[in-house]
Amino acid sequence: MKNIIIILTFLFALSCKQEVQAQNEVGDVLSVEQFEQEIQSDDIQLLDVRTAEEYEEGYIGDATNIDVLKTDEFKQEIQKLDKSKPVYVYCRSGKRSQKAAEILEEEGFETIKDLDGGYNAWSEKH
């Protein structure tokens, strides 16, 4: 009986952890390889959410730079994007792009893809 209680407690804790992780991530988080393959399409929007200074140091493809830390400006600028087309988003390491993904979702964007590890991970592979 004691073992059953321990097992049930463990399973409950594990399910809670997975639910919290799912709630924290918005959109699909892609590896560098997946991200690189999918951004080859002409029918996507590539968004760099780092600062202008970071962007000038290097960026991916023809990414549009909109600093997510400037929240009001970010919300205003993303209104110029097509909400029905996929948005591929990245930052330096992945934290800001998740914030951007949350805002994009709140604003009605349908498909949001995030680069796992951000530009740092991209730079390591390129």
91 is catalytic: yes
Distance, in Å, from the CA atom of 103 to the CA atom of 72, rounded to the nearest integer, reads 11
Distance, in Å, from the CA atom of 61 to the CA atom of 6, rounded to the nearest integer, reads 51
Q: Per the residue annotation, which of 60, 87, 91, 121 is the catalytic one? A: 91
**What type of residue is 104?**
L
| 39: nearest Cα among 118, 116, 115 | 115
CA atoms within 13 A of residue 87's CA, in its CB half-sphere: 31
Positions marked active-site: 91
